[in-house]
Amino acid sequence: MHANLFDRYHHTEGPLHRLEARVKVVLTVAFIVSNALLPDGAWTAFGLGWLLVLAANALSLLGLGFTLKRSLIALPFALAAISSIFSTPGNPLSSFPFLGMELIVTDAGLLRFASILVRSWLSVQAAILLVAVTTFPDLIHALEHLRAPKIITTVIAFLYRYLFVLSDEVIRLLRARQARSATLPPSVSPHFPRKWGERKRGVVWRAKVAGNMVGQLFLRSYERSDRIYNAMLARGYQGQIRTLHPHTLTRRDWTIGALTVLLILSLQLIGR
């Protein structure tokens, strides 16, 4: 019984997988920052950015549509930007009443909303690709190399390790609940003379069980953290995490990194 649903790494022998993790992290962040900095309506630059994502997809050998499919999951979050349609000053296009207010759609507002949508969509694809072509431990190492604060990388590493253990525990708790969520057969239970499987427990009952489970989970995690800390102490931990740095940048990494940074910079030039 294993929950691997958080594993986003997809192995291929692609050139993107062999690229050093630091380079990939820097390029992804640079691409996302560049997207954020492009002005509204820089469609040429957005289009070229998408070509860049497509090229990266191709280099990953995961298929051209790999990130496209997975990026849809982030779309609902872009709806948070919907207010920009009404709040950006510009030429009014139409208006409609909403909760006693008069909402005015402006052309600049629509443009901004569409741009935000495209920006986030491109950025999400870059991030999805990053975690698909880099193993999680490599990502953490890359962050360490890039001087991310030790406490953050350590917390992420623990989170990664124990997310699986915790989700396995959740699955076990859910199974235990299922196994005991029994009903009497219809014939012997006068209160529920319906067919098998029809009876549903009330919301209150289910909320109560869920609450107990969350409490259980918290207690178990709390106790586990104690045991893990002991295991760390037993192996010489004295308050300072140390790690090996097994990664080196090759000439190839430098070249690819520099070239892509140039591409991203030229996106900025084109978009402005």
Partner 1 sequence: MPITHPSLPVTMPETCDGDILRVRDLKFNYPDGHAALHGVSFQLCEGDKAALVGPNGAGKSTLMLHLNGILEGRGEIEVMGLRLTRDNLPTIRSMVGLVFQNPDDQLFSPTVFEDVAFGPLHMGLPEDEVRVRVTEALAAVRMSAYADRLSHHLSVGEKKRISIATVLSMRPSLLVLDEPSAGLDPRARRTLIHLLRDLPITMLVSTHDMALVKELFPRTIIMDEGRIVADGLTMEILDDEKLLEAHGLERG
Q: Which residues bind partner 1 (CB under 8 A)?
A: 2, 4, 135-137, 140, 157-158, 160-162, 164-165, 224, 227-228, 230-238, 242-244
Q: Give the nearest distance from C-beta 63 to partner 1 in angstroms.
A: 24
Scan for tokens 């072509």, then name that residue: 133
Q: What are phi and psi of 247, to 5 degrees?
A: -105, 140
Residue 1 or residue 182: which is nearer to partner 1 going by CB?
A: 1
Q: Give the nearest distance from C-beta 246 to partner 1 in angstroms.
A: 8
- Angstrom CA distances, 39 to 42, 119, 144, 164, stand at 6, 10, 32, 41
At residue 92, the 3 state secondary structure works out as strand
Q: Give the nearest distance from C-beta 130 to partner 1 in angstroms.
A: 17
Structural contact between residues 177 and 213, judged by C-beta atoms closer than 8 angstroms? yes
Residue 2 or residue 200: which is nearer to partner 1 going by CB?
A: 2
Q: Give the nearest distance from C-beta 214 to partner 1 in angstroms.
A: 20
Residue 200 or residue 235: which is nearer to partner 1 going by CB?
A: 235
Q: Give the nearest distance from C-beta 2 to partner 1 in angstroms.
A: 7
Residue 97 or residue 246: which is nearer to partner 1 going by CB?
A: 246
At residue 33, the 3 state secondary structure works out as helix
Structural contact between residues 122 and 49, judged by C-beta atoms closer than 8 angstroms? yes
The residues pairing with 101 across neighbouring beta strands, listed in sequence order, are 98
Residue 95 or residue 230: which is nearer to partner 1 going by CB?
A: 230
Q: Which residues contact 143 (CB under 8 A, 6 or more apart)?
A: 25, 152, 153, 156
